Amino acid sequence: MPAKDLDTIVSLAKRRGFVFPAAELYGGFANTYDYGPLGVELKRNIREAWWRSMVRERDDVVGLDAALITHPRVWVASGHVATFHDPLADCKKCKMRWRVDHIAEGQYGEPKRNAAGELLCPNDGGDLTEPRMFNLMFKTQVGTIADDENVAYLPPETAQGIFINFENVVASMRRKLPFGIAQSRVSFRNEITPGKFIFRTLEFEQMEMEYFCFPPADRDNPEEYLALHREWIDYRLAWYRDTLGIDASRLRIRYHEKEELSHYSAGTADIEYLFPWGWGELEGVAARTDFDLGAHGKESGKPITYFDEDTKQHIVPWVIEPAAGLTRTLAVCMLEAYTEEPDEKGEDRVVLKFKPNVAPIKVAVLPLSKNEALRPTARRVYEMIRPVYMTQYDETQSIGRRYRRQDEIGTPLCVTVDFQTVGENGVAGDDAVTVRDRDSQEQIRVPIANLLNVLRDRLPGC
């Protein structure tokens, strides 16, 4: 069972060092969050799992890390300057600001309307002002003079850096179609609507890949291209389910209706998750045709093409784009992992049942007590494990409380060093430790000499 309500996760995230509301010292700053010591590990692990599945384990995808601040005409070509707008309206009574499309979609519950059918404020039912279109890109300036000449934008997505490097990658990596270019990094959107924790923030991380393929013979009936689109949807859905361990019953694919599609799109499907407030997007898989390469070719005056050795012709590839939200996925991993259940003594415990590959800390080394006799061996075990796995050493408080703490941060394995390990009262130690499993709470005795093998078996994909 995932956490029933978001507040539980928000408070655990703060208490245990995953995610902090940003700038609390100054009264907070809407829609921004800081990632704490465990949050940063969790984020790295999700990104690494994505990179592994999208780049390392595939022969047909390479990586990229393009500049964040780039030529402003990139965003003219992509359409963001002209069309990256949201309709915003204010409540005349409570003054809250809303995205009208979100109210209409039911993101705040069944939409309220007046007798004329116009949407009303979800907060207090007040009348809304006429919606105004608001561009979501953050503007900045390059250099010291703030004029239109020097304007630059913070990137609202990662994709454009990939499109403008298409020819560089083909030439430098001798790539043949079909192939993909993947990139994971921060994006910025001037989101005004009240966020739901890290679901919607000003600054967030995305994991995107552009997969370039041959254009279809028939533009109006691109069967093979759409089949490839479906393949990518399935591949990505399987990643959430199998690699991150998200329950299939809380994942679904939603194909966009014709009216929802951009004019150039041959189809888009969202991978959605059942959040505590309803279904929400985790990733969009878009069949973007040749729109982006074509648009940059037109705007720059230098067509971006691929030379097909077989037909000896220059062609503009078509593209499929799986675009995922890293920070949004982090919230989902926490929601999914959250479990309340009895511990070995029948008392309530909170456990984050992360799959080992995403767990921030893989192993905790816990001497049974602070006793000096245990420390050298415990430190030796810790030094042995830490080069291989993210490991924590903790000797404060009772062993029971330390188990609870590791359960609450989702550490899959605890290794305990006790007096049987080191020996006492003239009896020689067995040089073995206890390995406790987070989920089953089962404990097994393992010789230190064999410990790394046992950890490897129990920490798949780490």
Residue facing ligand ATP at closest CB distance: 325
385: exposed, middle or buried (Cβ count in 10 Å: 0-12, 13-18, 19+): buried
Cβ atoms 310, 299 nearer than 8 A: no
Nearer to ligand ATP, 12 or 286 (CB): 286
Contact range with ligand ATP by CB under 6 A, out of 11-19, 280-288, 296-304, 354-362: 280-288
Taking phi over 0 as left and psi of -120 to 50 as alpha, with beta for the rest, 129 belongs to: beta
Contact range with ligand ATP by CB under 6 A, out of 278-286, 287-295, 357-365, 428-436: 278-286
d(C-alpha 336, C-alpha 352), whole Å: 8
Nearer to ligand ATP, 233 or 413 (CB): 233
Q: How far is the CB of 199 from ligand ATP (least distance, A)?
A: 6
Q: How far is the CB of 308 from ligand ATP (least distance, A)?
A: 30
Q: How far is the CB of 28 from ligand ATP (least distance, A)?
A: 17
Question: How is residue 41 written in tokens?
Answer: 């590990």
- 327 forms part of the interface with ligand ATP (CB under 6 A): yes
Enumerate the H helices of 105-242 as residue ranges: 159-163, 166-173, 223-238
Nearer to ligand ATP, 141 or 262 (CB): 262
Nearer to ligand ATP, 89 or 170 (CB): 89
Taking phi over 0 as left and psi of -120 to 50 as alpha, with beta for the rest, 324 belongs to: beta
Beta bridge partner(s), residue 253:
271
Q: How far is the CB of 102 from ligand ATP (least distance, A)?
A: 8
Q: How far is the CB of 157 from ligand ATP (least distance, A)?
A: 6
Q: How far is the CB of 163 from ligand ATP (least distance, A)?
A: 15
Cβ atoms 93, 124 nearer than 8 A: yes
d(C-alpha 152, C-alpha 137), whole Å: 10
- 253 forms part of the interface with ligand ATP (CB under 6 A): no
d(C-alpha 253, C-alpha 240), whole Å: 12
d(C-alpha 405, C-alpha 346), whole Å: 17
Q: How far is the CB of 281 from ligand ATP (least distance, A)?
A: 4
Contact range with ligand ATP by CB under 6 A, out of 59-67, 165-173, 279-287, 420-428: 279-287
Q: How far is the CB of 358 from ligand ATP (least distance, A)?
A: 17
Among 281, 299, 308, 430, binds ligand ATP (CB under 6 A): 281
Beta bridge partner(s), residue 287:
267, 320
Nearer to ligand ATP, 85 or 302 (CB): 85
- 284 forms part of the interface with ligand ATP (CB under 6 A): yes
Nearer to ligand ATP, 324 or 422 (CB): 324
Q: How far is the CB of 99 from ligand ATP (least distance, A)?
A: 9
Nearer to ligand ATP, 93 or 230 (CB): 230
d(C-alpha 409, C-alpha 18), whole Å: 9
| Residue 405 vs residues 298, 358, 435: alpha-carbon distances, Å | 57, 17, 16
358: exposed, middle or buried (Cβ count in 10 Å: 0-12, 13-18, 19+): buried
Q: How far is the CB of 208 from ligand ATP (least distance, A)?
A: 7
Neighbours of 28 (CB within 10 A): 11
d(C-alpha 156, C-alpha 68), whole Å: 10
Q: How far is the CB of 126 from ligand ATP (least distance, A)?
A: 24
173: exposed, middle or buried (Cβ count in 10 Å: 0-12, 13-18, 19+): exposed
Nearer to ligand ATP, 202 or 415 (CB): 202
Residues 147-206 that bind ligand ATP (CB under 6 A): 157, 189, 191, 200-201, 204, 206
d(C-alpha 249, C-alpha 329), whole Å: 16
d(C-alpha 405, C-alpha 282), whole Å: 29
Residues 357-416 that bind ligand ATP (CB under 6 A): none
Nearer to ligand ATP, 16 or 200 (CB): 200
Nearer to ligand ATP, 22 or 282 (CB): 282
Q: Kindly list the residues in this chain that would bind ligand ATP in the complex (CB under 6 A).
A: 157, 189, 191, 200-201, 204, 206, 281-284, 323-325, 327-328
